[in-house]
Structures are given as C-alpha cells and as structure tokens.
Amino acid sequence: MRLQNKVALVTGGANGIGLATVERFAREGAKIILWDLTDKGKDIAERLLEAGSDVLFQKVSVTEKDKVKSAVQEAHAHFGRIDILINNAGITKDRTLLKMSNAEWDDVISVNLTGVFNCTREVAPIMKEQNYGRIVSASSNVAIRGNYGQTNYVATKTAIIGMTKVWAMELGRYGITVNCIAPGFIHTAMTDMMPEEVRKQSIPHIPLGRWGYPEDIANGYLYLASDEASFVSGICLTIDGGAAR
C-alpha cells in the first residue's frame, strides 16, 4: 500500500473530491485526520473505522485560525505525527465583477486562500521537525485560463499556485514537498448547481469528451502525497481531460 502508516490530514473531507481522497488514502493504508464543517464527517469516520481504518474526525472551519491551531495540536498528539496535508476545502460564490458583494469576495478568499495559509502554517512546523512532509493544495484550471463570473474564486486559485512555489522553496530543505492540483470540470455537489446548459457547453472544449470524477483528482492527490513523487515539488498538476485554455 502506497501510504502505509502515513498520517494524512484532509480538509473538506466529507464530500466530493475530499471524500474520494479520504476513501482512497484509507485504502492505501493511511491514517486519516478528516476535517469538515458538517457532522457527515463523523458518520464517514465511523464507517471507515468499522472497515478497519484509523480515522480521527474533527469539526473544523479552516477560516478559524485558533481552531485550526488547536485541532492540529490535538491530531498531532493523537497520532504522533502528520505526514500529509491535503488542502482541499473550498467554496464558490459566483458573481460578475459589477455585481459581486464585499461579503461574496471575503467569504471565498477566507476559505480558499486564507484557509490554506492557516492550515499549512500550523502543520509545516510538525513536518519540519519530522524532516518529512507532503503538502498538496487545490487550485483549479480556471487559475490558468480565467472564468466568467469568478473573480473571487479565480483569484484564490491563482494565488494557490504562487504560494505553492514559494513554500516549495522555503520548505524543501526540511524534506517537505509542496504541490497543487488544478482540476477541470468535476462531478461534485458544487458543480451540480451549475445550469445544465453551461455544463453541456463545456463538453466540446474537453478533448476526452467528459467531465472528471472525484476519484480522478483523488488519484492525483495520492501520487503527489506518495513517495513516488519524492522529487516532485513546486508544480501544479492539471487534471482536466485536456480542456482548452
């Protein structure tokens, strides 16, 4: 198993890509720290525990820096180490520039960008002490090509790529790799809210002729979190079926 006895913290782990990642990592032998805002995470943790995985569920908002700090300390005390951080939690609040409210801007920045900063800042010292770590964050292919009505979202996902490159430079000397993934259209509850016509119009721009599934992104997270990617750092891996940019 590719993550045998590794301890992985996955934010936003109760739905969509996060859930697929938690389940995949568990099958690969990882011990899981599952963070989510909903009590659904508790049910998932119980199910995985019954199946023989070692899982700790914590109800955490990545925007609350004090809660993030205390939860990381609790998880570290529970498992003794944290080897992998998957910064997966994210939201959208789409609106064109001239209609976007300050609250819509602030909410997306708070979760998608500041949340990644909060989590990484707390976990990185543990990885430094271990002289080992894998940090992988969620960007998006819209960070590269832009997307109508997503000023806030695109801003965060572009910033993730920049932060990834900086952290790869700063943390590499401590045996820590830092990467990100840029998914394209993926079937999740978030994208299910998009108008059907918009979804249909996207297909001709994807050479593989389909949207991806959460498991496609979980596979990317798995590779970058594994020792197979021990010499991979500072990259953004695009997983979007070859979508036109």
Which position among 153, 174, 213, 223 bears the catalytic label? 153
Residue whose C-alpha is closest to residue 115's, from 191, 37, 172: 37
The enclosing domain of 184 has a CATH number of 3.40.50.720
Asked if residue 89 is part of any domain, the answer here is yes
Instruction: Give the whole-angstrom CA distance, residue 116 versus residue 86.
Output: 9
Asked if residue 245 is part of any domain, the answer here is no
- pLDDT given at position 245: 57
Asked if residue 244 is part of any domain, the answer here is no
- pLDDT given at position 183: 97
pTM: 0.96
- pLDDT given at position 14: 97
Asked if residue 111 is part of any domain, the answer here is yes
Segment-wise mean pLDDT, segments of 10 residues, the chain, 245 residues: 97 98 98 96 97 98 98 98 98 97 98 98 98 98 93 98 98 98 90 76 91 97 98 98 81
Asked if residue 66 is part of any domain, the answer here is yes
Asked if residue 1 is part of any domain, the answer here is no
Tell me the angle at which helices 151-171 and 115-130 cross, rounded to the nearest 10 degrees: 20
**Residue 174 among the catalytic residues:** no
Domain count, the chain: 1
Provide the domain limits for residue 169.
Answer: 7-239
What is the SS3 assignment for 116-160? HHHHHHHHHHHHHHHCCEEEEEECCCHHHHCCCCEHHHHHHHHHH
Asked if residue 125 is part of any domain, the answer here is yes
